[in-house]
Structure 1
Amino acid sequence: MVRSASLCACLFLLIILSCHSQLLPRLSFPMGSPGRSLTVFTSPDVYNTTTLLLSNDEETLFIGARDAILSIDVSQIDSMTFKEKLDWSPSEKDLVDCSMKGKMQTVCHNFVRVLQVLNGTHLYACGTFAFSPRCIYINSVTLTLATGPSGKPEEGRGRCPYDPYQKNTAITVDGELYTGTVADYRGTRPVISRHLSEGSHVDLKLDDTLGWLEDPTFISSTFVHSEEKVYFFFSEIGKEYDFIDKFTVSRVAQVCTSDVGGQRTLQKRWTTFAKAQLLCQAGQELPYNVLQDIVRVDPPEGASDDETLFYGIFTSQWRVNLGRSAVCAFSLKDIKRVFTGRYKVLNRDTLKWSTRVQEQMANPGECGLHNASDNTLRFVKDNFLTDKSVPPVNQRLTMVSPDASYSNIAAQRVEGANGKLYTVLFLLTDSGFLHKAVLLDKGVHIVEEIQMFHRPQAVKNLLLSVAKAVVLVGSSEGVLSLPVANCSHYGSCADCVLARDPFCGWNSLRRVCIRVTRSEKQLAQDVDEGNVSEQCIIVNPRARPGPSSEVVSVSLNEVVHLKCPEASHLAKRHWERLNSQLSPKIYIQSDNSSLSFVATPSTLGHYLCLAVENGYSQTLVVYHVKQKSNPTILPAPPSRPNITPTTETGNKTDISTPVQSESKPKQVNVYATVAHKDSPAATTWKSRNFTRWFGFEEDKSQMTEPGGNLNQADKGTYLKELVVVSILLALCVSALLTIAFNRFRHVCTNQTVPQTPSSRRDLEKGGSATPQERESLKGHSPRLEKRNGQASNGVSHNGQSHNGKSAVNLSNSMLNVSNGHLPNTPI
């Protein structure tokens, strides 16, 4: 039973893997491709441009770099114009102190890790500042330092990490800063805190002695206005799974913006902190448990905030899912339901978690607990982990990448030409490619992938500008800007519809593929199915506009290679000939859909490469293969027994062998057509040898010599001839060994058989010996010669003489001569 269950699980996993392996980008654009051009901002003295912030009007991009903060004009889609730069470098003393701490010089700079809009006129920034974090106020208009409440730069401990490679998150709400980071030099004191508090609010943080966080890696944070809560997303060690050592889990935590801490218990500490597990798992599969990035997608206009979705990238610490990424979606409605449910209780003595069985004194995570009693707050201190996990939307994974590891994500809701809303994900891979995927009811369709970097980037950031319709990517090499779509790349209605891009639609009047807008909605588009026949009016569905015929001039017996351009990774390509079919014995179609064959009079002509996608067939390229005006005569290969030899005088000796006809031709693949048996084919004996050299095998029953004589050659290959020769050689060697063995046996027999003296004396006396026997005993034997099948004495092979008398019979004594063989018989 256990073995059967394991087998079923393995089969199910293989089915899942095979389904996932079919998730391929439809188009690929290498770096510098004109189909998807990038706008790059770089500066010789600017490094590590990884912290990005858009202004409220999305006209200006603020960049937090190494030792500097910059502002760039991004009002134009295809340009990034430098505006201002603010130098913010550590002093020489700060660098020396950093080196004294044992840090490398490369990390003893000021890396800006927090950059937030504080209000309409100022920004707030924090940097590592040579392992001594500091924060400043910046005038967002002039990009100059501004004076803060203290009149000097503020200490950044608890607001910004010390290590530039330590992940953190920060967000401002009503002028207050909420952060998730580490609060010590070693990075062992994680903290979620509030700073810059105003009015009745006070700065709050977690009590790090209570174990509320277990070695977390902070990813993101967001503010939900209707809930008046800030949600933090991170990964940490799941202590509730005590049967697994260092099992990583993904979390969502919440705090209320109205929290001011307890009066006696939990003073200046959060009273509304609670956390829950995010479960990115499908069925009984192993979960994708390590959160890499997460993004928020607001609900459609007029919908409830409960429909807010969070799309996260998850990887796995299990070897079976190593190198793969999964995307899971979580709804705000499910998160709220888990936080209002039951909670686990932590035993402070054993540090073990268990399901709460005692009476519930309060609902942890509920806003307004700062006015609760001390008993209630003590109950909250031990009950901050929810009993249930937050499941993914529809209880399944949104998508799984079979061979790419995603690191960053951005998302947007897009209204298609039919008025339907689609969710588009922009996923950045570790290898430097950006995937654009659209979520459909039947699964995920990856529209395209664009190469963003030449080399993989360790630290990068992804930001989406919905107003400008561009994707912004920050890395150590610079900032890149990419339009969310390039509809003009699709030159026909079929290409535009097959792309299934919700941003693009085909305008039949202008005959162009354009962006879908509120004013441009009467467009041909089918994002869900990509059905060309229903959206496009095509006179000839097999033709693609503009496939020009390319002429290829070749010589006879020359090997021809025809390349077929790739329409998309999802299209299946195959070759066809006009009024003819491609025999697999003559043509070879490689994995990259190129066609190879030997140029003969029968293989000249037109060749078409076609692509089939979603049931729509289009011609990609047409080749016209013709013979050169002055054909080049190639040297003849070595003559062979089954080939008609040519003498010096030009005469030919016909040596023909029977050829077996093929009763049924074979197909190259499911897209190749079956060859006609009666299709004519002409070639020379030279081309037949060329065919064998290059692995081709032609139908030789249909080959004719240039003179018109039928050349019946064997249909074997060199491999077959080698096998035949090897067998004949083995037979010859066996025959020689048999003859040698018989000779040796006869010699040994003659030497060991005893002679009867009486018999010999009788023979010497005359006895009954014949004259021939007597001659043999004297050491003489009659000479036997065969001429034309007869012996010299007139005795034939059948034992009859020419005169009708019986042939002389040799007695056994004649065989016992010294050599052990018949007299004068060659060995």
Structure 2
Amino acid sequence: MESHSLLSLTVALLGFLSPCLTRLTPRVSFPVGSPGRPLTHFRSHEVSNTTTLLLSEDGDMLFVGARDAVLALDVGHRDTMTLRSKLDWSPSEKDLAQCSMKGKKMADCPNFIRVLQFFNNTHIYACGTFAFSPRCTYINSETLTMSLKSDEGRGRCPYDPYQRNTAIIVDGELYTGTVADYRGNRPVISRHLSEGRRVDLKLDDTLGWLEDPTFISSSFIPNEEKIYFFFSEVGREYDFIDKFIVSRVSQICMSDVGGQRTLQRRWTTFAKAQLLCQADNELPYNVIQDIDTLPPAEGAPADDTLFYGIFTSQWSVNSGQSAVCSFRLTDIKSVFSGNYKVLNRDTLQWSTQVQEKVANPGECGLHNASDNALRFVKENFLADDSVRPVARSLTMVSAEHSYSHLTVQRVQAANNRDYTILFLLTESGYIHKTVLLQSGAHIIEEVQVFEQPQPVKSLKLSTSKGMIYVGTSEGVLRLPTANCSFYWTCPQCVLARDPFCGWDPASRACVEVSNTHTSLGQDVDRGNVEEVCNSVSLTHRAKFGPNKLPAGELVSVSLNEVVQLQCPAASRLSQQLWERPNRRLSPDLYLHLEDGSLSFVATPTTLGHYLCLSIENGYQQTMAIYHVRQKSSPLAQTPTSYTWPPIHHIPTTQAVAKPGPGPGLHSSVVTWPKTTETRQGKTEPTLSSRDNHITTRQQGRNLTLWTEESEQKESGFREGEPLLSARGPCYLKELVVVSVLLVLCLSVLITVLMYIIRQRCHSRTAPQTSSPTRDSDRRTPVEQEALRGNQLLSKRNRQALNSGQASGVVCNGAITGSNGHLPNTPI
């Protein structure tokens, strides 16, 4: 048995190494405070840890369990949540001192409300941790006052405020799953507040029916007269893996009153089974985080009840991932009615049941069974088979988000078909609104509900009011389930694929689906815009012929300047595409950035019109039109006509161009041929500011609107003539300036060269002067006298040369006489 289990796990591990996960991207994202998705908040500096929520049946009152208080919030008005009353319920100074003496932090010693359930039509039953000494009380729901003195809450509420628990009241009896001791070592599933012949019941502590569990939720199925508990615990049947966590579902019968001799005041109908959230040949997502019950559709049997749960994995290979699995009630019942494993008390080993079946464990009415039958069910409480998910596959898997809480709702669309909507709360503070389709899960939107991670949270759904309430440690916030008014056009309304919303052709608005609207346009399964929005007006398609261009946003640039054109995305699922008339966007000239914008260098070739399209689910719409133009002079025109490539399945709507800062320009209503609407007043295209070399979009700076009429006025063309391509600008002035500068440079260069040559010639022919001391000693008096005369004559000649009166000719730096010999030199 052990080797077989190891082999099975090895195969599962190998198969899990290469799973194919589909990336789930929310179509629209709303950050905190976004005007497109308003939230209603309730906060008070006197209230904290508002994490336990209880909604009235009519949805007008929300009771909140907080720290040292119970609140009653009036939520009947759509835009506000107001505090109607508050009940203070805090420990005394003595209780706090005792809690501190037990070694607990003072921050954990207040009374944290962990159980809040309607006891009847007039009272609420509440339990709190109360300084690690749980207390419970009855509260009047109208006056929010205590009707009786609080009593001990042991086994009804956890001691530690951070321990998870579950509680539900059915017919005035409290069914709980929690721990029954101060250290948290005695987990129990018990019944309290029983009266008459019914007695309070709990699990037998000595049987090991629970192995270090973490309680998640509980659910009452009326037709079954059973309470189902959901939790995770250590799976002792997998003894070859240390602390292997498994998810469980357990059941008890409401009619159980315990055995007469065996299992007195103990459950006789307790049984548990493994919840297996696993796809074929993959490791299971074995740790349950939250679960919610979806009742069957109207007229469907109770066996069609579904339980949707969030599961994570304890292995690092699945770290950060969450999976959603759904389980059908009929499958749970089938597992509990099958075979059970047997626990050997001597070896603590589990084995499959092989002996004769004395009784059916989990069957209601066993409290009247014989002692032999009760001893059998006492040893056989773990079902042999596991509960598999619906269709034996995962409902959805997220590789990017870790989900912690969920709530589920069934919605009837405009075509009268039912769709399942999941509201999933992520650890990072987003609610993902998801619709389950045949093709898979589709995240309609994500809404950020809080910025900082919250340690304890809860979700409460009001289907009658169409609201979701989120309880956090800082306050309570409310979110409408539908947000149809955000989709301002028929294509946007259809592409959202929201079962709550449909397009009303009469009011030309996206409205909530109801019985009053019978002819709404909607396609949740495919999101086909062409079929739903075929009534969109096409009367403006012929306004611009093939040789005319519509208006666009003018971007004035200088040549060789880096230009970046922004293209706002219609949604996070759309793709941006850029086009030019009669031109191909060469990758050598254009750079497509990750945010969808287009970057290029302004040259005569790249000047002109640009069109940005957003493509989603086969539907295209115009998001931005730009006209890139040189600053210095108006564009000259050459006889070239512009025609745009055809765009399929695109109904044409109007685009309103806003006035620019330039004089003489005006607004005009224009239409791009064979394209869809430009977003009016929603997401106007914006040019991001990079540096001084990138064109920025600022009010009154270098940007104006370029209309067909203004372009024709500046170009000098008559009405009806086609727009022509650009001629290059004249550079005559620049040529003259460059020529003059070149001549001056050459003149200076020649002058410098002549001066250098003259200096070199003079240095080579200059006379060498002898030393006056040594030569004078060797000359005779006659020679010395002649030499003095020669020097005097040379001095006079130099003076004459400088004054321009020398009679000789300068040659090679020497002065000669008329006879060609040096003066005063003997012949």
Q: Choose from 288, 292, 295 the match for 1:295.
A: 292
- 1:767 equivalent in structure 2: none
Q: Choose from 11, 20, 23 the match for 2:22.
A: 20
Contact 2:19 2:282 in 1 (8 A): no
Contact 1:541 1:617 in 2 (8 A): no
Report deviation, 1:518. 1.7
Report deviation, 1:578. 2.9
1:642-686 residue CA offsets vs partner (Å, 9 max, x unmatched): xxxxxxxxxxxxxxxxxxxxxxxxxxxxxxxxxxxxxxxxxxxxx
Q: Choose from 601, 620, 625 the match for 1:622.
A: 625
Name the CA shift for 1:11/1:359 in 2 (closer, same or farther; >3 Å). closer
Report deviation, 1:281. 0.3
Letter in 2 for 1:628: K
- 1:469 equivalent in structure 2: 466
Contact 1:281 1:397 in 2 (8 A): yes
1:73-121 residue CA offsets vs partner (Å, 9 max, x unmatched): 1112322121110000110001100100111111011000000000000
- 1:56 equivalent in structure 2: 57
Contact 1:201 1:260 in 2 (8 A): yes
Please say if 1:32 is aligned against 2:61.
Answer: no
Name the CA shift for 1:90/1:272 in 2 (closer, same or farther; >3 Å). same
Q: Choose from 553, 556, 561 the match for 1:553.
A: 556
- 1:584 equivalent in structure 2: 587
Letter in 2 for 1:114: V
How do 1:184-583 and structure 2 match up within 5 A? 184-537=181-534, 538=536, 549-583=552-586
Instruction: Give the 3-state SS of the residue equivalent to 1:285 in structure 2.
Output: coil
Report deviation, 1:615. 0.6
Give TM-score, length-normalised by structure 2: 0.74
Instruction: Give the 3-state SS of the residue equivalent to 1:375 in structure 2.
Output: helix
- 2:653 equivalent in structure 1: none
- 1:825 equivalent in structure 2: none
Distance across 1 between alignment mates of 2:506 and 2:188: 60
Report deviation, 1:520. 1.3
Contact 2:590 2:600 in 1 (8 A): yes
1:465-497 residue CA offsets vs partner (Å, 9 max, x unmatched): 100101110001111100001100001000000
- 1:786 equivalent in structure 2: none
Instruction: Give the 3-state SS of the residue equivalent to 2:121 in structure 1.
Output: coil
1:321-371 residue CA offsets vs partner (Å, 9 max, x unmatched): 111000000000000000011101111111111011111010000011111
Name the CA shift for 1:587/1:479 in 2 (closer, same or farther; >3 Å). same
Report deviation, 1:13. 5.5
Instruction: Give the 3-state SS of the residue equivalent to 2:376 in structure 1.
Output: helix
1:292-331 residue CA offsets vs partner (Å, 9 max, x unmatched): 0000000100110000000000000111111100000000
Letter in 2 for 1:256: C
Letter in 2 for 1:92: E
Letter in 1 for 2:265: K
1:232-289 residue CA offsets vs partner (Å, 9 max, x unmatched): 0000000001111100000000000110000011000000000000000000100000
Contact 1:541 1:616 in 2 (8 A): no
- 2:169 equivalent in structure 1: 172
Report deviation, 1:8. 12
Distance across 1 between alignment mates of 2:78 and 2:84: 16
Contact 2:309 2:324 in 1 (8 A): yes
Letter in 2 for 1:33: S
Name the CA shift for 1:81/1:534 in 2 (closer, same or farther; >3 Å). same
572-581 or 297-306, which deviates more: 572-581
Contact 1:542 1:617 in 2 (8 A): no
Report deviation, 1:55. 1.0
- 2:179 equivalent in structure 1: 182
Report deviation, 1:630. 7.1
Name the CA shift for 1:100/1:499 in 2 (closer, same or farther; >3 Å). same
Q: Choose from 584, 604, 626 the match for 1:601.
A: 604
Structure 1: gaps of 5 or more residues: 632-689, 692-701, 712-827
- 1:730 equivalent in structure 2: none
| Equivalenced residues, count | 629
Report deviation, 1:372. 0.7
Distance across 1 between alignment mates of 2:500 and 2:43: 29
Please say if 1:611 is aligned against 2:614.
Answer: yes
Distance across 1 between alignment mates of 2:551 and 2:404: 43
Distance across 2 between alignment mates of 1:550 and 1:190: 69
Contact 2:604 2:728 in 1 (8 A): no
Instruction: Give the 3-state SS of the residue equivalent to 1:496 in structure 2.
Output: helix
Give TM-score, length-normalised by structure 1: 0.74
Contact 1:541 1:618 in 2 (8 A): no
Contact 2:12 2:281 in 1 (8 A): no
Distance across 2 between alignment mates of 1:602 and 1:460: 59
- 2:109 equivalent in structure 1: 108
Contact 1:542 1:619 in 2 (8 A): no
Contact 1:607 1:624 in 2 (8 A): yes
1:439-489 residue CA offsets vs partner (Å, 9 max, x unmatched): 011111110001111111111001111001011100011111000011000
Report deviation, 1:521. 2.9
Report deviation, 1:629. 4.7
Contact 2:135 2:152 in 1 (8 A): yes
Letter in 2 for 1:604: L
Report deviation, 1:551. 2.5
Distance across 2 between alignment mates of 1:558 and 1:630: 16
How do 1:682-761 and structure 2 match up within 5 A? 707=731
Instruction: Give the 3-state SS of the residue equivalent to 1:20 in structure 2.
Output: coil
Name the CA shift for 1:104/1:510 in 2 (closer, same or farther; >3 Å). same
Contact 1:167 1:219 in 2 (8 A): yes
Instruction: Give the 3-state SS of the residue equivalent to 1:370 in structure 2.
Output: helix
Distance across 1 between alignment mates of 2:249 and 2:11: 34
1:619-641 residue CA offsets vs partner (Å, 9 max, x unmatched): 1111222222579xxxxxxxxxx
1:112-136 residue CA offsets vs partner (Å, 9 max, x unmatched): 0000000000000000001000001
Letter in 2 for 1:77: R
Contact 2:13 2:282 in 1 (8 A): no
Distance across 2 between alignment mates of 1:342 and 1:436: 39
Contact 2:575 2:615 in 1 (8 A): yes
Distance across 2 between alignment mates of 1:512 and 1:117: 41
Contact 2:15 2:281 in 1 (8 A): no
Distance across 2 between alignment mates of 1:497 and 1:15: 35
Name the CA shift for 1:12/1:35 in 2 (closer, same or farther; >3 Å). farther
Contact 1:548 1:621 in 2 (8 A): no
Instruction: Give the 3-state SS of the residue equivalent to 1:34 in structure 2.
Output: coil
Name the CA shift for 1:11/1:356 in 2 (closer, same or farther; >3 Å). closer
Distance across 2 between alignment mates of 1:11 and 1:548: 60
Distance across 2 between alignment mates of 1:50 and 1:9: 38
Letter in 2 for 1:391: R
Report deviation, 1:413. 0.2
Contact 2:190 2:200 in 1 (8 A): yes
Give 4+ residue runs of structure 1 displaced > 4 Å after superposition: 5-15, 539-543, 702-708
Report deviation, 1:549. 3.2
